[in-house]
Chain A
């Protein structure tokens, strides 16, 4: 039987188990949308801006562990997706973005709403395609899903010319995709892991550094088992939060520029650093030569390019985090470590001393402290909410004070740091997990970058909660200006903002605001109890800063403290 391109697309999406598409229609995809209206088991969420569609697909993917899907039109629809794609690429999030393209015979003629989106997105996609023949369509879509979700995941874009959506072809897809040029290494070299066992045996001051790879490969259980069995403290990257219980005694907190004192000190003093699913971003390492200078470094990663890129590694292990940690645990199972607690005591005592001497801290006052809001949110939600963030101070306070304990509950634009990410990502997460509390922790600047998505949340009855920490500043930039530019607050004052309560109401959502610390908890409780889209605005101390802070390029032991 012959199907149209549009029918083929829907059929493959169904076979891939896609239940939701985030998108925005237009001329080049009108036939796809027509077919979508007849496809009953795929929901479509109509966002208000294509950037929102990609962030929503990203949030959906992270909350659900599945691949997120977007559908947009050619030209401006396609270019509007670029920031979202670049963010997903930085954070290795599996999404498939389908863009319409002008009809094949017009390509290259500067046709109306034509852009070379394949060329534009080549450096920020894991792979991309311009479909040239409807006969290739089914295969390409299937291949795109395979590439997006396998190995080190990432965004894949498929550009489909309009004429191919109505052209017909026989529906043929292979059961299995095999590519001679793409074969991610899941199984690690066991000899390398044997070396890791020996290093663990000898180590006096071991630390595990866990990143987003733990979440992506669903390796939390294996990580927790390893850390507990061998009594090894665990630090996380921003992307790794939730991969290890944030309330556990072995948890050190986040590492790097705004990492905890104990995490930064422990990594700097460690004699063994076992890095899993991280890429040693400059926000983590600070000055490279002094990073973990006393440690033998083991790095486990599925992407060989992450290894030896920034940091020389003694024991590289190419493989999937879950499989590798699983094997490591099996190897350790065979050893006798009855004495391990006594052996680790001096190291863990030292860490405990750092924790007590220099905890995460802020001064209370009669003005609301943003950290206090996050602490209260943590308490009111029992630490069980899915947290998305915007970018800036709000993001760092969320990372520091919402002690995530489960994977897939922390959704932030880590690598690219996209302001405007949090609200659409929360929408995606809420679609994936309708019964969970989803909260976007936001700044007053960032929230205005994709505020239009309030309409999406309201239209689909998504009860996402938005906590705005309003400091009337682009706070993180202001903080840098305060610390490194003699308080010259160049263009960071947000003197004018909308009335967020009226704004919420105008969109059909609910709004609350308070300036009093004594009301913070009540506002949170009230806001969270309403099963609707809610903005909770907290007027916070304007010039509060995020501490600890390592100045860019300094060693991570050189922390500015409160």
Chain B
């Protein structure tokens, strides 16, 4: 069966140990976690976990049911089944010698990124967007020499609810 990438948006009670329960579920049952993002929602006692996982249909169905089985999980949304917006933020530290600077700035501009830190030999760039866009800018910057990358992981919300 074909494996697909799924984005789960999971609402949980904002209590200690809840995240550990979810991560433990994934490691214990051998499910994939590609990225994971957690923060409070507008209700302080509820957190949203956005989790990207890969699996075939039966595995994804089990993931959903197993998540629901955890007592502190309130709602599980498989966003891949709906229309949704997704964003990720990346910080890229790229080698920026004098003769590369103009080209880097042009690329950053095209991707509507920002330079957030400058050194004699580097720029640190901030870019947000869906995964494909981040992949594209990383590809463009690669020849310049990427020193380090930090990504937030995906967050997402359905378009209409």
Residues of A participating in the B interface, judged by any CB pair closer than 8 Å: 118-119, 122-123, 126-127, 130, 132, 147, 179-182, 303-305, 308-309
Contact = CB atoms under 8 A, between A and B. Distances in A.
A179 B71 contact: yes
B62 A122 contact: no
Given A123-B28, A181-B13, A181-B74, A305 B20 contact: no
A147 B71 contact: yes
B61 A308 contact: yes
A304 B17 contact: no
A119 B20 contact: yes
A148 to B, nearest CB: 11
A386 to B, nearest CB: 31
Contact of A305 (B21, B28, B65): B65
B159 interface: no
B67 to A, nearest CB: 10
Nearest to A312: B58
Given A127-B71, A308-B58, 15 more contacts: A119-B17, A122-B21, A123-B28, A126-B71, A130-B16, A179-B71, A181-B12, A181-B13, A181-B71, A181-B74, A182-B71, A304-B68, A305-B66, A305-B69, A308-B62
A305 B66 CA distance: 6
Nearest to A147: B71
5 contacts: A119-B20, A122-B21, A123-B24, A305-B62, A305-B65
Contacts of A305: 62, 65-66, 69
Contacts of B68: 304
A305 B68 CA distance: 9
B127 interface: no
A309 B74 contact: no
B7 interface: no
Contacts of A304: 65, 68-69
Contacts of A303: 69
B73 interface: yes
B17 A118 contact: yes
Given A119-B20, A123-B28, A309 B69 contact: no
Contacts of A130: 16-17
Nearest to B63: A305
Interface in B22-47: 24-25, 28
A309 B28 contact: no
A9 B69 CA distance: 27
Contacts, number: 37
B77 interface: no
A119 B66 CA distance: 18
A483 B24 CA distance: 38
Nearest to A306: B65
Contacts of A182: 71
A407 B6 CA distance: 43
A238 B152 CA distance: 48
A117 to B, nearest CB: 12
Contacts of B69: 303-305
Contacts of B16: 130, 132
Contacts of A118: 17
B72 interface: yes
A309 B61 CA distance: 9
A119 B21 CA distance: 9
B16 to A, nearest CB: 7
Given A122-B24, A123-B28, A181 B73 contact: yes
Nearest to A307: B65
A74 to B, nearest CB: 17
A19 B25 CA distance: 35
Interface in B71-96: 71-74
A180 B62 contact: no
Contacts of B25: 123
Contacts of A308: 58, 61-62
Contacts of B58: 308
A305 B63 CA distance: 9
A36 B137 CA distance: 67
A303 B16 CA distance: 25
B108 to A, nearest CB: 43
Nearest to A151: B69
A429 to B, nearest CB: 29
Contact of A122 (B20, B65, B66): B20
A118 B21 CA distance: 10
Contacts of B28: 123
A182 B74 CA distance: 8
Given A119-B20, A122-B17, A181 B65 contact: no
Contact of A181 (B20, B62, B66, B72): B72
Contacts of B17: 118-119, 122, 130
Contacts of B62: 305, 308-309
Across the A-B interface, give the 8 residue pairs with the lowest CB-CB distance, nearest first: A181-B74, A305-B65, A127-B71, A304-B65, A182-B71, A123-B28, A122-B24, A305-B66
A326 to B, nearest CB: 25
A288 B12 CA distance: 35
Nearest to A129: B17
Nearest to A304: B65
Contacts of A122: 17, 20-21, 24
A304 B65 CA distance: 6
A122 B21 CA distance: 7
Contacts of B72: 181
Nearest to B29: A123
Contacts of B65: 304-305
Contacts of B12: 181
Contacts of A123: 24-25, 28
Which residue, of B12, B69, B74, has the highest number of chain A Cβ atoms within 10 A?
B69
A179 B15 CA distance: 14
A219 B69 CA distance: 23
A130 B18 CA distance: 12
A182 B65 CA distance: 13
B20 A180 contact: no
A108 to B, nearest CB: 12
A107 to B, nearest CB: 11
A394 to B, nearest CB: 31
B49 to A, nearest CB: 13
